[in-house]
Amino acid sequence: MKTKTWSALIAVYLIWGSTYLAIRFVVETIPPFLSAGVRFLIAGVILFVWRRLAGEPMPSARQWRDVSIVGLLLLLGGNGLVSWAEQYVPSGATALIIGSIPIWLVLLEALRPGGAKPGRIAILGLITGFFGIVILVGPLNLPGGEQLNPLGTAVLLLAALLWAMGSIYSRSAEMPGSALMTTGSQMLVGSLGLLAVSALSGEWARFDPASVTRQSLISLLYLIIFGSLVAFSAYAWLLRHARVSLVATYAYVNPVVAVLLGSWLADEPLNARILLAALVIIGSVVLINTIARVPKAPEAVSAEIAD
């Protein structure tokens, strides 16, 4: 069991951590909402058909309603905005900003009627996390530092907030019986929302298939197969066979993987500002994940929110 657990955990660490760089390569030649829509449509169809053939029932009308709300918040609001923002913000910095999701989860949970209020350690984690974000995106001038694109940064913060909202809503939502059927249904609805936004924003009209590079196409296939299918299956298995505290460590390992891969494979900046922000943000997430009782965030992601 230990071998299976650590194999699944390492898969989640590496694959979800690498999806940020893969998204950056995809949006270089494929429009962001279109690429995300295609990714989740294909992955959603595969999961949905697989679980139906395995004998799982069709979601009820109530379940489709809740699946749609969560799927649109996570995939359109979360992953779609991440894909758009990565046209302007390096993948490593993107992962650090999205890594702030546990901070938003604690805040929203505290504001929810009957929600858990954060204790002193959790509040310290919140303050630390926001300080880390200020270091990353603010005017602080560290040696070799470059300020991030303000609009891209704002969109990423909105993406993290929407992902957290979807996660909070999912706690009381009525979902299908299995995690894989739930995810497949969310991907189907989320992909339709992404493709609709893509069409309304003119991406389809501007898209030239002949301009798609091999790197973008391979990255898109990687996101479909590994990011949306393999890693999530590993994550779903972990939730049933490993301690939640152990599984939650992906939230602060993924940004480290993303920052290192972005620097190594895409020549993204790895300067004093990013290193300091990474230490502060990841430290805050460690505090929140180990002390505070926060709602578990479903993957789409990845987290990718995807993670």
The amino acid that residue 94 corresponds to is: T
Contacts for 124 with CB less than 8 Å, ≥ 6 apart: 287
| Residue of 242, 253, 287, 269 whose CA lies nearest to 2 | 242
Q: How many angstroms separate the Cα of 193 from the Cα of each of 23, 39, 69?
A: 18, 13, 11
pLDDT at residue 140, rounded to an integer: 54
Q: Which of 135-144, 207-216, 296-305 has the lowest mean pLDDT?
A: 296-305
237 SS3 class: helix
* Helix boundaries (H) for 173-249: 179-200, 203-206, 214-222, 231-241, 244-247
At 27, is the secondary structure helix, strand, or coil?
Answer: coil
| Amino acid in the structure at residue 79 | N
Among 68-72, 252-256, 259-263, 287-291, whose mean pLDDT is lowest? 287-291
pLDDT greater than 70 at residue 264: yes
Q: Which residue has the tokens 């990714």?
A: 39
How do residues 75-91 score in pLDDT, each as one tens digit?
999 999 999 999 999 99
Q: How many CB atoms lie within 10 A of CB 228?
A: 31
pLDDT at residue 286 greater than cutoff 60: yes
Instruction: Specify the pLDDT at position 35.
Output: 97
The predicted structure's pLDDT at residue 108: 84
Q: Is the pLDDT at 19 greater than 50, yes or no?
A: yes
Terminal Cα distance for the chain, rounded: 26
Q: What is the mean pLDDT of residues 202-229?
A: 94
pLDDT above 70 for 299: no
**Average pLDDT of 129-150?**
68
More confident residue, 242 or 158: 158
What's the whole-number mean pLDDT along residues 211-237? 91
- At 54, is the pLDDT very low, low, confident or very high (cuts 50, 70, 90)? very high
Q: What is the pLDDT of residue 302?
A: 37
> What is the share, in percent, of the chain residues with pLDDT greater than 90?
42
Which tens digits make up the pLDDT trace of 98-107?
887 877 887 8
Mean pLDDT calculated for residue range 191-211: 95
pLDDT of res. 116: 73
**Does residue 217 register a pLDDT over 90?**
yes
Q: What is the pLDDT of residue 244?
A: 63
pLDDT band, very low/low/confident/very high, at 259 (cuts 50, 70, 90): confident
- Distance (Å, rounded) from C-alpha 93 to C-alpha 86? 9
What is residue 167's predicted lDDT score, i.e. its pLDDT?
83
pLDDT exceeds cutoff 50 at 156? yes
pLDDT higher than threshold 50 for residue 298: no
Q: Categorize the per-residue pLDDT at 131 as very low, low, confident or very high, splitting at 50, 70 and 90.
A: confident
Residues 6+ apart with CB under 8 A from 233: 180
Rounded Cα distance between 136 and 97, Å, is: 8
